[in-house]
């Protein structure tokens, strides 16, 4: 075997030697391809595994942690939430519509593979600056792809986040999250056990699309990537809708032993992973796999990533029940082999054995790399911020409007009105507030959902940035009236073989882990996406946090908009003088510098606990966390959402611009009836949370005084127009 052969499938000579050692012989071409895809970073996590171990992954409510198709968290009443987020970055960079669509399709399958009914989709998107035409094209088509897939299948896209920064110009990020609901007793797992049980492939037929997608995801993007379109899968949401309904109907028959979707590495990963989890082997015949193209050779069938397919392990003798259900839905179902007890994945093409390797060696025995890491040099330069040299802008109204128009802060309606966020009629809080809220039918409960990450903070300080991503996600859920329960993460980074990138990765994970511990939100599923680089420029470290919280009673559901004239506006937490990493610095001064905002996790926890206790006590009429754009933008958003103004007075002696637009953490703006003020102050004092009355809801303008001086005065309608129309104007 020439050196070129293993390099072509993305393996190193060391890895090749290891395969020879495992097999006791040289692998044939097909076998080598199996290892190539399964030992890719995308499938094996060979670079990230040792670091991921530091995440807290257990807790009273955790029914399924990492290692399965999705994580599961208990929400009481015998019900549980299934959740997972996944990246589809490289496909979306090359073919944004299909890349994003199949990202949604893949994550939906991960959820119903667990036996759950998918009930909501979210996403997290990153693109270059919208001044660039190719970025507009990527943005427009990725949004359309996500929308069309979710809309057609009938799962509402209820939330997400979008940021624009030049670092994503060549390598956009498309992360899709899905959440499902399940009864505890109905949980399915991706396990193949019981020698003689049938191995069936169901759903779409197999073609040549997506060949080698897992390997494609595990290298840097380059000029040639644009030619790699055959590595991008093509989605068919109608097919997936049928597959979803058929699978859920099939699970009710009780004949299913295990089930796994065919995602990255297709049949190869589904067979080897299910067999490996069940300590079994599997004997399959690729000639029995229904195909949509002629002339496919066995290796193509094994690594095709054609969408909308599932592998189902069925009790011996009950195969016809499967056929019956799938026939009703007009879908293929074919027995392609049997579970064995020899631990080997044996692949036949008719009678001829074309490959035979230990199933576990594909699924679990990829080498683990302890990558070198070193604090990158850029941090020294960007960490410094000469505040003195920055002038305080005279026109603070203008600064606020400028920030409201910044695509990172502006209203995302242009995006979410392309998503059917209402189908299933459970969306109690639609996109646009701190978190989406979805009621759980048949109970008085709801779940709140969010995705968050400020990657600029992560760029300046990955550990703090990672912790803030978790803290902000939790804060968003708290503001909606939910107790944060669990995290699913999507860790988007550059090339891990570069010590600087790997240092960012380790730091971010450690910061996130600490925040997860303090805030009581274990990581129950996730995904790592490395090699997000083009032309040697890595993206900002972007560890996206997807979080789910439980609203114990739908009467606790809270939104950000101010509600009623005369209500008191209060701040839980304290204003600071931190400007580092702020959107203000970027938009007004053109700087992405300074320290990331400080985060005191114990204080954060106290602020969150206080807010939730007050919400549950029924005294909070609106709640909104302070994030990008600082307290001025937070107040503006409360006014715009509520369609009502406010009079605000700050006593602070901080620099005015930093006070208004700095992004200090652990702050929540709430409103309440004047008559509840004492009660709120008492609760805050008891929980050791700073609580200040900032002013009251009033009129049609946002008016802000600082230390007795009128500093801002701006009509809510004008702010609303700037904020709402900004992205639409740019996109035309």
Binding footprint of other proteins on the chain (CB under 8 A): 144, 147-148, 151-154, 236-239, 241-242, 329-330, 416-425, 427-428, 439, 441, 554, 557
Q: What is the nearest approach in angstroms of other proteins to the Cβ of residue 328?
A: 8
Handedness of CA 640, 641, 644, 645 (dihedral sign): negative
Residue 340 φ/ψ, nearest 5 degrees: -120, 170
Burial class (CB in 10 A: 0-12, 13-18, 19+), 554: middle
Q: What is the nearest approach in angstroms of other proteins to the Cβ of residue 252?
A: 15
Q: What is the nearest approach in angstroms of other proteins to the Cβ of residue 182?
A: 16
From the CB of residue 678, how many other CB atoms can be counted at a distance below 10 Å?
Answer: 9
Q: What is the nearest approach in angstroms of other proteins to the Cβ of residue 154?
A: 2
Query: What's the rounded Cα separation, in Å, for the pair 524 and 55?
Result: 9
Residue 397 φ/ψ, nearest 5 degrees: -60, -45
Distances (CA, A) of 468 to 461, 535, 594: 10, 29, 16
Q: What is the nearest approach in angstroms of other proteins to the Cβ of residue 153?
A: 7
Residues 6+ apart with CB under 8 A from 724: 410, 411, 413, 640
Q: Which is nearer to other proteins, 424 or 605 (CB)?
A: 424
Q: Which is nearer to other proteins, 414 or 540 (CB)?
A: 414
Q: What is the nearest approach in angstroms of other proteins to the Cβ of residue 416?
A: 8
**Considering 42, 90, 556, 624, which one is annotated as catalytic?**
42
Q: What is the nearest approach in angstroms of other proteins to the Cβ of residue 444?
A: 10
Q: Which is nearer to other proteins, 362 or 557 (CB)?
A: 557
Distances (CA, A) of 729 to 437, 476, 721, 725: 29, 28, 11, 6
**Considering 88, 90, 556, 624, which one is annotated as catalytic?**
88
From the CB of residue 598, how many other CB atoms can be counted at a distance below 10 Å?
Answer: 15
Two tokens at 676? 């509840």
Q: What is the nearest approach in angstroms of other proteins to the Cβ of residue 241?
A: 6
Distances (CA, A) of 604 to 32, 238, 360, 579: 50, 44, 43, 19
Query: What's the rounded Cα separation, in Å, for the pair 265 and 101?
Result: 18
Q: Which is nearer to other proteins, 101 or 599 (CB)?
A: 101
Strands 309-314 and 709-715: unpaired
Of the candidates 672, 588, 586, 583, which has an alpha carbon nearest to the alpha carbon of residue 629?
Answer: 583
Known catalytic membership, residue 88: yes
Asked if residue 314 lies in contact with residue 257, where contact means CB atoms within 8 angstroms, the answer is yes
Query: What's the rounded Cα separation, in Å, for the pair 114 and 42?
Result: 21
Q: Which is nearer to other proteins, 246 or 706 (CB)?
A: 246
Orientation of helix 237-251 relative to helix 133-153, angle to 10° = 40
Residues 6+ apart with CB under 8 A from 558: 479, 480, 481, 615, 620, 621, 622, 623
Burial class (CB in 10 A: 0-12, 13-18, 19+), 359: buried
Query: What's the rounded Cα separation, in Å, for the pair 126 and 142?
Result: 10
Q: What is the nearest approach in angstroms of other proteins to the Cβ of residue 181?
A: 13
- What residues are labeled active site? 42, 88
């Amino acid at each position: 075997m020439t050196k070129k052969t293993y390099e072509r499938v993305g393996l190193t000579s060391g890895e090749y030697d290891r395969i020879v050692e495992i097999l006791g012989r040289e692998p044939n071409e097909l076998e080598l391809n199996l290892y190539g895809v399964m030992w890719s970073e995308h499938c094996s996590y060979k670079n990230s595994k040792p670091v991921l171990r530091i995440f807290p992954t257990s807790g009273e409510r955790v029914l399924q942690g990492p290692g399965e198709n999705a994580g599961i968290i208990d929400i009481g009443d015998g019900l549980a939430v299934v959740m997972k987020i996944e990246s589809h970055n490289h496909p979306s960079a090359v073919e944004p519509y299909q890349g994003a669509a199949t990202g949604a399709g893949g994550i939906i399958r991960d959820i119903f593979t667990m036996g759950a009914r998918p009930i909501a989709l979210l996403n997290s998107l990153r693109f270059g600056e919208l001044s660039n035409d190719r970025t507009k094209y990527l943005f427009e088509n990725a949004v359309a792809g996500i929308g069309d897939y979710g809309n057609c299948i009938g799962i509402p896209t209820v939330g997400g986040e979008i940021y624009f920064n030049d670092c994503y110009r060549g390598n956009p990020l498309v992360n899709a999250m899905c959440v499902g609901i399940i009864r505890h007793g109905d949980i399915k797992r991706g396990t193949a056990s019981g020698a003689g049980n049938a191995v069936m492939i169901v759903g779409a037929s197999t073609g040549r699309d997506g060949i080698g997608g897992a390997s494609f995801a595990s290298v840097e993007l380059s000029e040639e990537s644009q030619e790699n379109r055959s590595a991008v899968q093509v989605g068919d949401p109608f097919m997936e809708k049928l597959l979803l309904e058929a699978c859920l109907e099939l699970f009710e028959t009780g004949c299913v032993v295990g089930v796994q979707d065919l995602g990255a590495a297709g049949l190869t990963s589904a067979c080897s992973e299910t067999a490996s989890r069940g300590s079994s082997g599997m004997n399959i015949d690729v000639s029995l796999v229904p195909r949509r193209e002629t002339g496919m050779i066995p290796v193509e069938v094994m690594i095709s990533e054609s969408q909308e397919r599932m592998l189902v392990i069925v009790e011996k003798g009950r195969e016809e029940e499967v056929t019956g259900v799938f026939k009703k839905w007009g879908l293929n179902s074919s027995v392609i082999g049997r579970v064995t007890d020899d631990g080997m994945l044996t692949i036949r093409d008719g009678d001829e054995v074309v490959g035979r390797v230990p199933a576990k060696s594909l699924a679990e025995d990829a080498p683990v790399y302890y990558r070198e890491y070193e604090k990158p040099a850029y941090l020294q330069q960007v960490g410094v911020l000469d505040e003195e040299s920055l002038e305080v802008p005279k026109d603070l109204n203008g600064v606020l409007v400028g920030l409201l128009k910044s695509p990172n802060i502006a209203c995302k309606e242009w995006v979410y009105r392309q998503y059917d966020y209402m189908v299933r009629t459970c969306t109690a809080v639609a996109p646009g507030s701190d978190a989406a809220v979805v009621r759980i039918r048949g109970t008085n409960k709801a779940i709140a959902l969010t995705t968050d990450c400020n990657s600029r903070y992560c760029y300046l300080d990955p550990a703090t940035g990672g912790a803030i991503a978790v803290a902000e996600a939790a804060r968003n859920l708290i503001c909606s009236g939910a107790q944060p329960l669990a995290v699913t993460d999507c860790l988007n980074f550059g090339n891990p073989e570069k010590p600087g990138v790997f240092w960012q990765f380790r730091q971010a994970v450690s910061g996130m882990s600490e925040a997860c511990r303090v805030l009581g939100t274990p990581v129950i599923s996730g995904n790592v996406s490395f090699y997000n680089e083009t032309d040697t420029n890595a993206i900002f470290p972007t560890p996206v946090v997807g979080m789910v919280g439980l609203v114990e009673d739908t009467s606790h559901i809270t939104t950000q908009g101010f509600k009623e004239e005369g209500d008191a506006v209060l701040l839980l937490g304290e204003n600071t003088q931190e400007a580092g990493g702020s959107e203000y610095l970027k938009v007004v001064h053109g700087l992405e510098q300074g320290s990331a905002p400080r985060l005191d996790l114990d204080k954060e926890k106290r602020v969150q606990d206080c807010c939730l206790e007050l919400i549950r006590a029924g005294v909070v009429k609106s709640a909104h966390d302070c994030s990008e754009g600082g307290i001025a933008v937070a107040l503006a958003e409360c006014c715009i959402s509520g369609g009502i103004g406010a009079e605000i007075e700050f006593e602070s002696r901080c620099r005015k611009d930093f006070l208004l637009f700095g992004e200090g953490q652990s702050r929540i703006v709430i409103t309440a009836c004047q008559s509840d003020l004492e009660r709120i102050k008492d609760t805050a004092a008891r929980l050791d949370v700073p609580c200040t009355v900032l002013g009251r809801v009033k009129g049609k303008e946002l008016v802000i005084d600082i230390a007795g001086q009128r500093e801002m005065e701006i009509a809510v309608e004008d702010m609303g127009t700037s904020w709402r129309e900004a992205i639409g104007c740019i996109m035309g």
